[in-house]
Structure 1
Amino acid sequence: MSCVNTPGRLAIAMKIGLLAATSSCAWEASANPVPEAPAQQRAVQAYDIGAGSLVDVLTRFSSQAGVAISFDAAQLRGLQSRGLNGFFGVDEGFARILDDSGLQAEPQANGTYRLRAAPSRGSAMELGTTTIDGQLLTATTENSGSYTTGAVTIGKGEHSLRETPQSVTVITRKMLDDQNLNTIDQVMEKTPGITVYDSTMGGKYFYSRGFRMSGQYQYDGVPLDMGNSYVQADSFSSDMAYYDRVEVLRGAAGMMKGSGGTSGGVNFVRKRGQATPQTELSLSGGTWNNYRGQVDTGGPLNDAGTVRGRAVIAEQSRRYFYDDAQRKDQVYYGALDVDLTSDTTLGLGVAYEDVDASPCWGGLARYRDGSDLKLSRSTCLDPSWNTWRSQRTTVFGDLRHSLNDDWAVKVAGVYTKNTQDIKYAFASGSVAPGASTTNLLGSMYDYDQVDYGLDAYLDGTFQALGQRHELILGVNASRSDKDDFYSVALLPQKQNVFDPDRHIPEPDDSYFIENSTRGGPVKTVTEQQGVYSTLRLKLADPLTFVVGSRVSWYSSKSDSVFLTGGTEHARSTETGQVTPFAGVLLDLNENLTAYASYSDIFTPQGNYRSQSGSALKPLVGESYELGIKGEWFQGRLNTAFNLFRTVQKDQAQTDFNSTCASSDGYCYENAGKVRAQGFEAEISGEVIERLQLLAGYTYTQTKTLEDIDTSLNGGSFNSYVPRHVLRLWGDYALGGAFERFNVGAGVNAQSDNFRVSPVSGEKITQAGYAVWNGRIGYRIDDTWSVALNGNNLFDKRYYTTIGTEGFGNYYGEPRNFTATVKARF
């Protein structure tokens, strides 16, 4: 097993993990000759690594050389190295560092290295025959074979999960691959503590701790205003093929980009150029003609290894368990990482994603009293001419420069453009007892959005009062330009819910405009800027105090022209809004850390107007968290338990007794106050040898404290979010005669949730359910492997989303299977 070190990055968490390692493996002696390393690994480059402990020197060298080496840090305690200065290849560099230690770095077939005893020549250490199999994890997760990570980057810098005083779950590359998680929607469905709710217009809404996440996205730490729009809900078309991992924060995320919100945020971390050549081919096929092919290749592009490349191509075509719907995805990604000097690395990347689909949106209707129509799960009530075409181009860039061993600066930017053309209709309206038909509601969208993001920060450590401290100072900014046109119109035809007609004629575009019930051109520009800082003070060996703050500037303007007549011009501005954060961590022993944290909440609402014409105040609130985290087996296993409470107030609420020039014709008030509280428990990583596990249980209780409708006071604030949610998946590599096999199994379970109809007041409920999934894999040889995944193995019939009597009720997928063949060389 190996740990992968990204060139130019020296993870503080990796150093700590090495120095704290406590396992006691012996070393394997061998007189066999060492195989010659590939030419790319013998590339010569400059090193300037000072003398120090052998652990520290090896860590710094492997990071700068961009190679992975496995060793047991406990065996190296007390050993020193003279360092390395000059131009060396990887093999010679290891040899110089390990001179007189009695050890050697042995190249492995996969391009990594393993530390072992050198052939006997009076070596300094007497070693046994046990092979070193310890693995030190870094922030990068691909090739780690783990369901956890050594560090997260969602809060700037690199810190272990144990050092992070908030709740963070990492969906690693192995988890993405093992469960075939290819979209953001699929990732969030498997993430502990997250509830996914279907939009009737495509996309998903994500909820964490009872609150909607509303587009809190980062790309490589750069905040953007992606999602959070009328068309896309909170998700968007983004394939996971070119990402290393997804980091999900639960709780207040105001430090991410200012106008944060209550629920959390998501950081997508992309794959980078590789230090060693590697190619992976993947082909899969499954139920409902679900086919996918992917090529992922990369490696050094020059002899010195200072230019590294990556290319990913993926294509997927699929149908669905409901009638006639289909989708085709194409993904192209390329990346370069260039070491401009030994201290400076430039990273560039570009991705293009194309979606061409005939979707079935809108969900299913119900009887007028809210009871289930009990339709077949294959039922689609949409016409066959439904169309969704989405094209997205994303450009990434970052520059990291090490000022010295303690301080580094990073500047990163992201640009993304998304165009969507959508035309569809769905059944809308409840079904009267004894009747069989409902209305058809049609929509047409021309969607065009451009997002820019920039983030720059200085990260370093300094010595004071006998302790080592860390300081982060940064600025970031984002801009979102939306230029949309939409129209919604009632179609003249009816739809028979028990015998749907998929051949209802497609109206001309002019029909939607001439018969529009709402819609028109909408132009929106949202800008955010902020400065932030985080100080990690080591008050004593076991005690760390974390304090941070962000000062934000926010502006948004939206201009709408309604096809039904009239205009709306909304403006929102917030200046110098301060969002503080504080946390404290207390190391109880070498494995456990207790923590507490506090964060403010700030979400602008100035685009809403009261009856007096004034802009509404921002939504504000406070979030508290108290917990304990564990780190075991040199960081290969992480555990967490926490209690949380969030109170938010001044939420914008509709005043139905008023009239304003707005899209819905009503005015708004700052009237809402709600509370969410509960607890979470999570475990991720290697529980026992060869068993990887990600499991999380969440209990969430939401309560309305104040509402413009006083009859709601004291009731549940968000009934969509179940009280109890369990997400569990494990993968076990068998041993002995079955060592080529690995098996996986897991469950997504939740208690009941419900929705109260805004029309009839009926309570529509989905009972609690559990959906079991499984996987079996077989490694044919060092290159080829096959796997079979099964989802909903017991063919549970349930609704993933409960809507109203008229629409928005979505069945979960029936039992289905996917077979995958992979080659890696």
Structure 2
Amino acid sequence: MPAVPSLRLRPLFRFGLVLTLSTSPLFVSSSWAASDERRTYEVPAGTLGAALTRFAGLAGVNLSVDPALVSGHNSSGLSGTFAVQEGFTRLLQGSGLQWVPVGDQAYTLMPMAHDSDSLQLPSTSILGAEGGGQGDVFAGGQVARRGSQGLLGSRDFMETPFSMTTYTSEAVKNLQARTLGDLIGSDPSVRATNPAGGRYEQFTIRGFSLFNSDVAYNGLYGILPTYTIDMEMADRVDILKGPSQLINGISPRGSVGGGINVVPKRATDQPITEFTGSYASDSQVGGAVDIGRRFGDEDQFGVRFNGVKQSGDTEWDHQSVDREMAVLGLDFRGERLRLSTDIGHTERITDAPQERVQVGPKAKVPDANDVRHNYAEPWSRAHTKDTFGAVNAEYDVNDSVMVYGAAGARKSNHDFLRHAVSVTNDAGDFNVQPRDFTRDENVRTAMAGVRNWFHTGAVSHEVNLAASYFYMDFTNGGARYATSPSNLYRPVETPRPGTPTRLDPEVYTESRYSGVALADTLGFFDDRLLLTVGARWQRVKVDDWNNDVKGKTGYDEEKISPSGGILFKATDKLSLYANYMEGLSQGKIAPSVSVNEDEIFPPFISRQIEAGAKYDTGPFAITASVFRIRQPAYETNATTQVFGPNGKRQNLGAEVSVFGEPLQGFRLLGGVMYIDSKLTDTLDGAYDGNRAPATPEYNVNLGAEWDVPAVPGLTLTGRGLYSSSQYLDQANTKEIDAWERFDVGARYAFKVDEKAVTLRASVENVMGKRYWSSAGASDDSEPGLTLSTPRTYLLSATVGF
């Protein structure tokens, strides 16, 4: 790139055309658009040209510039109160450009003095949050404007042809979310399908299962802990709805309803030193530290550490949770090179963890209101340990090409002493069969890619080419013990297991996924129309051994999956979009409750069609979409207890979400999802037309926050959740009722000796209702009832030093 003298303007009229980035009249009253007058602006992230257009129009000033200067540059937008010149400075930060006054309320752009030595690519970093400016957070602070989209980089939600919500660390803290399960209660498209006091967390998105192993860490699958993910490590959490194989590749467990990506914390430009003390009823007490610093002549080196220790009893009988987490993040920000690495360790011990309640063919659905004690035996236990790490790198080859790569690994050891809860009759009787279950996992994953920005005539291009590789092996083993009777309503304390009655076979499984993806986002009409087309070649290879004898159900298959999306910016506030996404997913694995336990089934293909609209008013936003997702259906036969495919299922649905601050000091976060989920092509047509199991017709979430005007720093909070009834089986003979839950809370922020202090208090399930919150995961192998979270009191105090 040739050097540009600091005092030489590029010819503004060399093409005989001046691009005027203002919607205001040529002459504007200086009393209305004075450069030092501060006004509130909401400018969405996007191309630099589009951002400047909106800002100049809102400010009532003229801006003229050579189109080549802003071509290929993006902006993170602007949100807040600024003077005109201050606003221009914020929007141009890092672009290598500066504003220059050329008349009364008229400006132009020119390169900075050292533009030749400092390159700035569009804001598509894969390295995680950087504690960015105000423009990265939507009004209200609960949702971020930009979200990570794997192959396609980081994009503003108004320029994304998908349905996606990105929750901020501020939302995590104010919800007092300890795990991912605590956070997803804000999203109507997501539901937890395992008890909050259970061995592990599992979710559904748009009615399809999502396992923790399918939650990405800065774009890499399989790095995060398998069973429970602590939220203190997260700066942002991206929730993408719909199959995401094009942008993220195949996930370890084949989730198709959507994806979740946890973005790690990075040291911000301002030092961070925070301590949070916490309490959760019945007697869980803990503390967390968050420390961040930047070093170097230009603050190019960053260090961020987060640590947690919490232990004590929960609201359930003889249940306790002891958890520890430590995550260290390091990063380097150079002119062309950006590096980061994260190293983490988590450990969790849960005594008497609850299981899903399975309902036998001769038993009715139990009455949740009569389940008043913990039905897990006091000797049952879940002990999980996960050590993980990742390295990410980006390098700007020039002002239009960036290469990037990442690699990660995880080693996990899991030890469970558990028992299933399978009710056999209307009285609630079940047999306790203790099982000692161990699982050891090793994961190695890597990806690399190149991103290129260029123009062909009036059409802009962002071409992405990426390759990925994922490897995981795991070993399952254990033993079974003699059974003892118990009851769901009147639990019986049985003896601690002694001598095993049977040793389980040692099952060893290796999974390898590889893929290459190519995508091009074409921009027409100054990027008002964005068309993304692409495809991903994927290969799935799975092998298994049973007591060192190679299994017969392994496979090696490959497929090319096309996907695409289109987005039209009808106005600066309204975006319309549609997409088609197709993906290959790993086949299901038969569960422990089936007679063909651990049998691996072939991969399957899922397909989604979606259309929607996004309306950004500035203070708040509304998104709406309709979608259809199809994939094979699986079940464990009630008579034979054999797990396998049985027909297909189609989820036809609609979503509406709202977030932001529609009134000063009043924030909203929530929405509604409707799903019509039908079974087709079942064996002999027995269940054709039935509703798919574990899929409520409606989910509704609405959270609100109100800053009390009379007491500065005091905020009152409330949240309501609702799910309609669900079937437990494909025959639609067993059903759980609709349910609702209400949470209330408050927080108070103030200063003591210049130290920022925030006190938080909340009550989950304030009405103390008992209900079945889920009938299991609709498309996985273990149907069962999830008992509601009991009334739980949460307290915390955060002090910033």
Task: Report if aligned partners of 2:353, 2:382 keep a CA contact under 8 Å in 1.
Answer: no
Find the aligned partners of 2:589 and 2:491 in 1 and give their Cα distance: 41
Find the aligned partners of 1:676 and 1:807 in 2 and give their Cα distance: 18
**SS of residue paired to 1:162:** helix
Q: Which residue does 1:773 correspond to in 2? A: 743
Q: Which runs of 5+ in 2 are unaligned?
A: 1-37, 62-84, 97-103, 118-129, 591-595
**SS of residue paired to 2:181:** helix
**Structure 1 residues 23 and 529: CA distance shift in structure 2, 3 A:** same
Q: Give 1:86 shift.
A: 9.5
Q: Give 1:727 shift.
A: 1.4
Task: Report if aligned partners of 1:223, 1:454 keep a CA contact under 8 Å in 2.
Answer: no
Q: Which residue does 1:533 correspond to in 2? A: 518
Q: Which residue does 2:306 correspond to in 1? A: 312
Q: Which residue does 2:229 correspond to in 1? A: 238
Of the structure 1 ranges 191-200 and 402-411, higher mean CA displacement relative to structure 2 is found in 191-200
**Structure 1 residues 76 and 366: CA distance shift in structure 2, 3 A:** farther
Task: Report if aligned partners of 1:225, 1:478 keep a CA contact under 8 Å in 2.
Answer: no
Q: Give 1:532 shift.
A: 0.8
Q: Which residue does 1:185 correspond to in 2? A: 181
1:794 aligns with 2:767: yes
Find the aligned partners of 2:274 and 2:400 in 1 and give their Cα distance: 36
Q: Which residue does 1:126 correspond to in 2? A: none
**Structure 1 residues 656 and 410: CA distance shift in structure 2, 3 A:** same
Q: Which residue does 1:749 correspond to in 2? A: 722
Match of 1:815 among 788, 791, 801: 791
Q: Which runs of 5+ in 1 are unaligned?
A: 4-9, 28-52, 65-74, 89-110, 114-134, 228-234, 659-663
Q: Which residue does 1:98 correspond to in 2? A: none
**SS of residue paired to 1:763:** coil
Q: Give 1:345 shift.
A: 1.6
Q: Which residue does 2:696 correspond to in 1? A: 722
Find the aligned partners of 1:647 and 1:770 in 2 and give their Cα distance: 29
Q: Which residue does 1:449 correspond to in 2? A: 441
1:647 aligns with 2:630: yes
Match of 2:355 among 362, 374, 383: 362
Q: Which residue does 1:124 correspond to in 2? A: none
Task: Report if aligned partners of 2:147, 2:165 keep a CA contact under 8 Å in 1.
Answer: no
Find the aligned partners of 1:498 and 1:322 in 2 and give their Cα distance: 14
What fraction of aligned residue pairs are identical, expressed as a percent? Answer: 18
Q: Deviations over 1:417-448 (max 9, x none)?
A: 11111112354432465xx7532121111111
Task: Report if aligned partners of 2:565, 2:580 keep a CA contact under 8 Å in 1.
Answer: yes
Q: Deviations over 1:709-743 (max 9, x none)?
A: 5210111123x1110101121223333x3222112
Counterpart mapping for 1:316-715 below 5 A:
316-339=310-333, 341-363=334-356, 369-372=363-366, 377-431=371-425, 437-491=429-483, 493-502=484-493, 504-508=494-498, 510-511=499-500, 514-515=501-502, 519-541=504-526, 542-561=528-547, 568-575=551-558, 577-605=559-587, 618-633=603-618, 637-649=620-632, 672-715=647-690
**SS of residue paired to 1:285:** strand
Q: Deviations over 1:494-543 (max 9, x none)?
A: 225554333x32223x41xx335xx3211111111111122111132432
Aligned pair count reads 698
Q: Give 1:254 shift.
A: 1.8
Q: Which residue does 1:159 correspond to in 2? A: 155
Q: Give 1:588 shift.
A: 1.2
Find the aligned partners of 2:206 and 2:417 in 1 and give their Cα distance: 34
Q: Which residue does 1:116 correspond to in 2? A: none
Find the aligned partners of 1:112 and 1:763 in 2 and give their Cα distance: 52
Which residue identity lines up with residue 572 of structure 1 in the other structure? Y
**SS of residue paired to 2:171:** helix
Find the aligned partners of 2:610 and 2:115 in 1 and give their Cα distance: 49
Task: Report if aligned partners of 2:205, 2:258 keep a CA contact under 8 Å in 1.
Answer: yes
Q: TM-score when scaled to structure 2?
A: 0.79
Find the aligned partners of 1:815 and 1:477 in 2 and give their Cα distance: 44
Find the aligned partners of 2:669 and 2:154 in 1 and give their Cα distance: 21
Find the aligned partners of 1:627 and 1:76 in 2 and give their Cα distance: 39
Find the aligned partners of 1:382 and 1:80 in 2 and give their Cα distance: 68
**SS of residue paired to 1:137:** helix
**Structure 1 residues 302 and 443: CA distance shift in structure 2, 3 A:** same
Q: Which residue does 1:117 correspond to in 2? A: none
Find the aligned partners of 1:479 and 1:597 in 2 and give their Cα distance: 30
**Structure 1 residues 385 and 343: CA distance shift in structure 2, 3 A:** same
Find the aligned partners of 1:724 and 1:587 in 2 and give their Cα distance: 30
Match of 1:208 among 196, 205, 222: 205
Q: Deviations over 1:243-287 (max 9, x none)?
A: 111111111122121365531111111001233211111112232
Find the aligned partners of 1:456 and 1:605 in 2 and give their Cα distance: 26
Task: Report if aligned partners of 1:364, 1:427 keep a CA contact under 8 Å in 2.
Answer: yes
Task: Report if aligned partners of 2:140, 2:661 keep a CA contact under 8 Å in 1.
Answer: no
Q: Give 1:292 shift.
A: 2.6
**SS of residue paired to 1:780:** strand
**SS of residue paired to 1:738:** coil
Q: Give 1:236 shift.
A: 1.5
Find the aligned partners of 1:812 and 1:652 in 2 and give their Cα distance: 25
Q: Which residue does 1:150 correspond to in 2? A: 145
**SS of residue paired to 2:172:** helix
**SS of residue paired to 1:188:** helix
Task: Report if aligned partners of 2:372, 2:489 keep a CA contact under 8 Å in 1.
Answer: no
Find the aligned partners of 1:820 and 1:656 in 2 and give their Cα distance: 46
Find the aligned partners of 2:544 and 2:227 in 1 and give their Cα distance: 21
Which residue identity lines up with residue 274 of structure 1 in the other structure? T
Which residue identity lines up with residue 629 of structure 1 in the other structure? K
**Structure 1 residues 272 and 258: CA distance shift in structure 2, 3 A:** same
**Structure 1 residues 468 and 499: CA distance shift in structure 2, 3 A:** closer
**Structure 1 residues 522 and 292: CA distance shift in structure 2, 3 A:** same
Q: Give 1:207 shift.
A: 1.7
Task: Report if aligned partners of 1:195, 1:206 keep a CA contact under 8 Å in 2.
Answer: yes
Task: Report if aligned partners of 1:533, 1:549 keep a CA contact under 8 Å in 2.
Answer: yes
Q: Which residue does 1:740 correspond to in 2? A: 713
Find the aligned partners of 2:471 and 2:403 in 1 and give their Cα distance: 23
Q: Deviations over 1:571-596 (max 9, x none)?
A: 11113x11111111112111101111
Which residue identity lines up with residue 245 of structure 2 in the other structure? G
Q: Give 1:317 shift.
A: 1.4
**Structure 1 residues 329 and 373: CA distance shift in structure 2, 3 A:** same
Q: Give 1:697 shift.
A: 0.7
Q: Which residue does 1:42 correspond to in 2? A: none
**Structure 1 residues 733 and 623: CA distance shift in structure 2, 3 A:** same
Task: Report if aligned partners of 1:219, 1:268 keep a CA contact under 8 Å in 2.
Answer: yes
**Structure 1 residues 802 and 546: CA distance shift in structure 2, 3 A:** closer
1:294 aligns with 2:282: no
Which residue identity lines up with residue 148 of structure 2 in the other structure? T
Q: Deviations over 1:346-369 (max 9, x none)?
A: 111111101122133235577954
Q: Give 1:810 shift.
A: 3.7
Which residue identity lines up with residue 688 of structure 1 in the other structure? L
Which residue identity lines up with residue 605 of structure 1 in the other structure? G
**Structure 1 residues 477 and 12: CA distance shift in structure 2, 3 A:** farther
Which residue identity lines up with residue 350 of structure 1 in the other structure? I
Q: Give 1:700 shift.
A: 0.5
Task: Report if aligned partners of 1:532, 1:550 keep a CA contact under 8 Å in 2.
Answer: yes
Q: Give 1:375 shift.
A: 6.3
Task: Report if aligned partners of 1:258, 1:551 keep a CA contact under 8 Å in 2.
Answer: no
